[in-house]
Amino acid sequence: MSPPPRSSFGPNATIGILGTGQLGRMLALAARRMGYSVITTGEDPPGSPCGQVAEPVEDLASFLARADVVTTEFENVDPAVLAAAALSRPGPSVVARCQNRRLEKAFLREAGVPTVRHQVIGEGEVADAQHQLRWRQELTAFGLPAVLKTAAFGYDGKGQWVLRDAADIASVPLDAGAYVLEELVDLAAEVSVVVGRGDDGETACYPVIENRHADHILDVSVAPARIDPALAERAVQLAVTVAEALGAVGVLCVEFFVTTDGRLLVNEVAPRPHNSGHLTIEAAPTSQFEQQLRSVCGLPLGATIPFRPAAMANLLGELWAQGEPDWSAALAVPGVTLHLYGKAEARPGRKMGHLTAVASTPEDALKLVLDARRRLLLRP
């Protein structure tokens, strides 16, 4: 069977980005470099990270009318908005599945993709006292330790609780109405695969990325991941399976747990570029943001190989607690690149930017980027 025809938009087309954060900013920079017009809409569009490099459009109807193709930089958007666009990539059904953990888990099960043992709690029922009592009984029956997550609107650890005993179960507010309860597995590593998929079914994956979190927020990423090659190959295969089963057009990231007993389990899917993929800007011939642009515009996907070993370290608002970080000290480290997102206010836990280092090995790249981040606090 021949592949479906491309719906292609070349330079000078208008790309509409739903969302105004740093992922939209980096997509807009890639698009403008290639000659595209970019508009954005969302929270505080004029002063936002994306609004600083794209044209802010506050009226949603005008935004949809002007965009040749609409894409998103985060999944917590109303799928109806995507459905109202002349063309949206990813489509509303992809976003609807990925923004709700209950639907996402059901999709992964149907696709035959391994996930952690889990159970849906609540099913969207009213969170009154009677339902809460029954839900707590279900939490106890599932077995501890476990992780309880709200079905919708959770990210960077928000809407998540680790349950280790009866006291933890009693302390959970249980007011959201729908949750996913997951077995707490013993982790050897957390990894991710960023995959681009075109409207003709073409796919392109980056090497597996190894991730380390702090307080539920991604702290450091290293690529290629330092895991068994056979396991890495399997992760890439599963990422492609997920992208194809979703029918996604664009870039998505599949996050995995690697357990201490050697299992590879899909944790969640982000239907957009991902924080762990930021290092592709320096490490790959085509960054994840250019790949998103190519895929949503119906252009051939860009090369992901050769790939240079790289590491990325997030810069959170805490680094500004004692004043402006020492950028000169960090940039004195060879092979290090700085990305700041243009956010006016630094707050604890807020992603303000990141550093990337490239080197001859993943280990060397990790040492360089951590050294550079440490130097940010060595003020004169």
DSSP 149-161: EESBS--TTTTEE
The pLDDT value recorded for residue 318 is 95
Can you tell me the mean pLDDT for 274-282? 98
223 touches 238 (CB < 8 A): no
The pLDDT value recorded for residue 131 is 84
Residue from 291, 269, 263, 268 nearest 206 by CA? 291
Biggest CA–CA distance in the chain, Å, is: 65
Tell whether the model's pLDDT for residue 5 goes beyond 50.
Answer: no
Mention every residue, 6+ apart, whose C-beta is less than 8 A from residue 40: 16, 17, 18, 19, 20, 24, 28, 48, 50, 51, 54, 55, 56, 57
pTM of the model: 0.94
pLDDT band at 155 (very low <50, low <70, confident <90, very high): low
User: CA–CA separation, 208 vs 297, rounded Å?
Assistant: 25
The pLDDT value recorded for residue 45 is 76
Q: What percent of the chain has pLDDT over 90?
A: 85
Pairing of strands 55-56, 37-41: parallel
CATH 3.40.50.1110 fits 117-183, yes or no: no
Residue type, 236: V
Q: What is the CATH number of domain 14-101+187-296?
A: 3.30.470.20
> Three-state SS for 183?
strand
Tell whether the model's pLDDT for residue 292 goes beyond 80.
Answer: yes
The 8-class DSSP code of residue 88 comes to B
Sign for the pseudo-dihedral over CA of 77, 266, 194, 156: positive
Burial of 312 (0-12, 13-18, 19+ CB in 10 A): buried
Can you tell me the mean pLDDT for 83-112? 96
In the chain, CATH 3.30.470.20 covers 14-101+187-296
The interaxial angle of helices 101-110 and 229-246, nearest 10 deg, is 110
How many angstroms separate the first and last alpha carbons of the chain? 65
44 touches 58 (CB < 8 A): no
Tell whether the model's pLDDT for residue 2 goes beyond 60.
Answer: no
| Averaged pLDDT of the chain | 94
240 touches 220 (CB < 8 A): no
Tell whether the model's pLDDT for residue 3 goes beyond 60.
Answer: no
- Which of the pair, 1 or 279, is modelled with greater confidence? 279
H-state helical runs in the chain = 22-33, 60-66, 79-84, 92-98, 101-110, 129-142, 166-171, 229-246, 280-283, 288-296, 327-331, 362-375
